[in-house]
Structure 1
Amino acid sequence: MATYKQIQEYVKQKHGYVPKTCWIAHMKEICGLNPKVSPNRNSVDQRVHPCPLGKQESIKESFQYFNML
């Protein structure tokens, strides 16, 4: 499984922006990859910064590139 840094680097090279780690975790959750819960997360049931709809496809593409899906 790719690290968050590897995913961020891939998305930066392919799409020109660096996704937030919370966006990656949200997309992992959506795709059923069971991310670890961050120790500084306020609530396990709620996301402060969910992944924007316009960014989801590029993050999902990175999961496919790293054979995570």
Structure 2
Amino acid sequence: MDSQVRYEFQLAERLSATALAAFPELHLADAGLGTILFGPVRDRSELYGFLGRFDIMGLTVLGFHRLPD
């Protein structure tokens, strides 16, 4: 994985301000009923770290993908 590629994560839930604070490295985009977070991901370990944190918080990941450069 190239350094500092950007990813977008689509979550089923709307995150509260407290939940959003758990992801200071990601940015919030308007998602209607759910939440879309996006931001830089340094490597595979950090990608899996985000997915693990979503899981620990009980969040449903609807999808994620690498954003174009």
Bigger strand share: 2
TM-score for both structures, normalised by structure 1: 0.36
Higher relative contact order (CA 8 A, sep 6+): 2
TM-score for both structures, normalised by structure 2: 0.36
Bigger helix share: 1
